[in-house]
Amino acid sequence: MNSLIVSCPSCKTKNKIPGGKQHLFPKCGKCGRQIDMRSLATPVELTDTEFQSFIARVTLPVMVDFYSPTCGPCKSIAPLISKIAKDYLGRVVIAKLDTSCNPGTAMHYQIRGVPSLLFFKNGKIVDQIVGAPPESQLRQSLDSLSG
């Protein structure tokens, strides 16, 4: 899992925040002040080894972008995925999985092409988009997932 290095806005201490904890109102390790993640949030990068336990543990709905670094349409929606990670912070956990390094999870969910977006609620798939969706369609799916 990726983590973010964030400077505390009040004491300037650098904090390391795991990607999967961005939505849990992280506090500065030194001064204890809450760090506002809204402009900083980034997709959670998951791997085969942690995928199932992460999906089972998260209480918010989760969207996972199954992508490959060499795929053109995957690259074209990457900025949109990064943007919605900020926009939906606290409502939907936005995650991504590189299928070229993590074939086990892709096989488990029978991913046949990338990008594939899977929407999870309580650990179960409730929606799926194959291919790169327009922003409006993606937002619609996320709104209904979190509603």
φ and ψ at residue 35, rounded to 5 degrees? -100, 125
- Least Å distance between CB 132 and Zn ion? 39
DSSP state of 137: H
- Least Å distance between CB 7 and Zn ion? 9
* 71 is annotated as an active-site residue: yes
Q: Which is nearer to Zn ion, 27 or 91 (CB)?
A: 27
Q: Which is nearer to Zn ion, 11 or 125 (CB)?
A: 11
**Given 11, 28, 71, 101, which residue is catalytic?**
71
* 28 is annotated as an active-site residue: no
- Give me the residues that bind Zn ion (CB under 5 A), please: 8, 11, 13, 28, 30-31
Q: Which is nearer to Zn ion, 17 or 28 (CB)?
A: 28
CA atoms within 13 A on the CB side of 57: 8
Closest to 64 (Cα-Cα) out of 101, 105, 16: 105
- Least Å distance between CB 94 and Zn ion? 26
Range list of β-strands (E), the chain: 3-7, 14-18, 44-46, 62-67, 93-98, 116-121, 124-130
Active-site residue numbers?
A: 71, 74
